[in-house]
Amino acid sequence: MLRTLKREIREIISKKPKGLNETKARAILLHLEGMKTNEIAKILQVHKSTVYRWVKEFEREGEKCLFYKERKRR
């Protein structure tokens, strides 16, 4: 299952569909490969709390969280 999930995320990244948050997708992939949050944050140049939040979001929502969400206009 983990291999399949990693393969699916790699495939999504390679296709670069519209709305993909590529940095978040790469962070999730690195997390699934066993890398620590601090290391991921350093590599992707984001704060470690951002990586932690992305991982939790992925655990709740799955692959759909890899795409930017539409925001309501005011």
Share of the chain above pLDDT 70, in %: 100
Domain extent listing, the chain: 2-65
CA nearest to 5, candidates 28, 23, 34, 38? 28
In this predicted structure, what is the pLDDT of residue 32? 94
**28-39, pLDDT tens digit by residue?**
999 999 999 999
Total-model pTM: 0.84
> Sorting pLDDT into bands at 50, 70 and 90, what band is 18?
confident
> Sorting pLDDT into bands at 50, 70 and 90, what band is 72?
confident
| 24, 66 contact by CB (below 8 A) | yes
| 41, 51 contact by CB (below 8 A) | yes
